Amino acid sequence: MAIPKVKFPVALSGAIGAVEGFFKAKTPPLIGMDISTSAVKMVELSDSGNKMYRIERYAIEPLPKDSVVEGNINNLDAVGEAIKRCHNRLGSSVKNVAIALPNAAVITKKILVPAGLTEEEIEVQVETEANQYIPFSLDEVNLDFQVIGPAPGSEEDVEVLIAASRKEKVEDRVAAAEVAGLKAIVVDVDLLAAQAAYELIESQFPDKGLDQNIAIVDVGATFTTVNVLRNGQSIYLREQPFGGGQLTQEIQDKFGLSLEEAEVAKRSGGLPDNYETDVLNPFLETFGLEVARALQFFFTSTQYNQVNHIVLSGGCAALPGVDAVVAQRTQVNTLIANPFANMALSSKVRPKNLQQDAPSMMVACGLAMRRFDS
């Protein structure tokens, strides 16, 4: 099994950038592939000119229950088969994919090193420092670093970001892709891929969000991740146990449906008239309270006392009325994530379906954008 040389991109000068030297002059066509807890999502983008993207195709394939748990692949064959079905549904001839590791699988640490060192000298120092911060043998991890820039308050040092993940975490995702006949050529991190896609959204804010605190609230199946950005840099990150799986469970219990039936009904409707009053509205109220609670944690643990905008992503962001509930609970301007809003659409993409699915495609979109790194 061929393991790609892992290079974790980092937020550099407010942008998500590929690590220098990893890519050739032009990255070959690739598909962004997000393996989440509940589904495999794929996106293929092309360049439509004038620094604009075109979405050629996308696909979503549900994953069997418990095949991925807390970011870990528990059933390699089941995930591999779901990837194969997703790729068939996508209808693309491209076999190269960009994949992402869950945030919890990557350890990051900023260190200071003397300015003026060569890359080889930095690498030696990084390995020495990494031994202090990484609770595994370096033989067991993929390790990478990126020079961020001059150290604050010191002209003699530069700041370097170390990123590391256990090799098995990378190998599991590469193996799952190979089961489907695909080749992973880029390894990213969920958080950074989502931030790359966020750059397509920030133009919707006054002054493109300059000097504003923007909270990206991603609601997955089991966890909600709150990532507060300021000028493209993450200044706060928190995960809390709340997700769309709770709504699915409530639909199952209330209406006597199977997991699969409840998931389909949650997305496409067709539930009894009392669904909204008895199930959906109470869930949305709980969701609004969870977001308000997360912002309070942000205020009490940082120097900031304001969030200017909230961006909702994940499957639950497509629930009708969720943005209004969150805005009312938090008193913060709230919008639904759609990184494709300003993209050209191919004839294979149905605008109505894309509008519904877009909030859950942030990571896959960010991964697809890695094709254009240079």
Q: List the structure tokens of 245.
A: 């799986």
Stronger pLDDT, 65 or 215, i.e. the higher one: 215
Q: List the structure tokens of 283.
A: 């869930």
Amino acid at 352: K
DSSP assignment string, 67-96: SEETTEES-HHHHHHHHHHHHHHHT----E
Burial track 331-350 (b if 16+ CB lie within 10 A, e otherwise)? ebebbbbbbbeebeeeeebe
Q: Is the pTM of this model over 0.85?
A: yes
Q: What is the CATH number of domain 204-337?
A: 3.30.420.40
In tens, the pLDDT along 134-148 reads 888 888 888 888 787
Per CATH, 10-196+360-372 and 204-337 having the same topology is answered yes
Stronger pLDDT, 86 or 153, i.e. the higher one: 86
Sign of CA dihedral 107, 112, 118, 122: negative
CA 255 to chain centre: 32
Order the strands of the 31-35 sheet from edge to edge.
Answer: 183-189, 96-101, 31-35, 39-49, 52-62, 344-345
Q: Which of 73-82, 85-94, 140-149, 235-244 comes out lowest in average pLDDT?
A: 140-149
Tokens 């996106």 belong to: 43
| Half-sphere exposure for 17 (CA within 13 Å, toward CB) | 14
CA 99/CA 115 separation, integer angstroms: 33
Q: Which CATH class is domain 10-196+360-372?
A: alpha beta
Share of the chain above pLDDT 90, in %: 61
In tens, the pLDDT along 266-283 reads 887 889 999 999 999 999
CA 368/CA 30 separation, integer angstroms: 7
The residue extents of the domains of the chain are 10-196+360-372, 204-337
Residues 19, 21, 25, CA angle at the centre, nearest 5°?
105
pLDDT > 70? residue 338: yes
Give whichever of 24-28, 260-264, 328-332 has the largest mean pLDDT.
328-332
Can you say whether residue 130 is alpha, beta or left, with left for phi > 0 and alpha for psi between -120 and 50 degrees?
Answer: alpha
Those residues with Cβ within 8 angstroms of residue 269's Cβ, 6 or more apart along the chain or in another chain: none
Q: What do you get for the CA distance between the two ends of the chain, in Å?
A: 27
pLDDT of 6: 54
| Segment 196-222 mean pLDDT | 93
In tens, the pLDDT along 173-194 reads 999 999 999 999 988 889 889 9
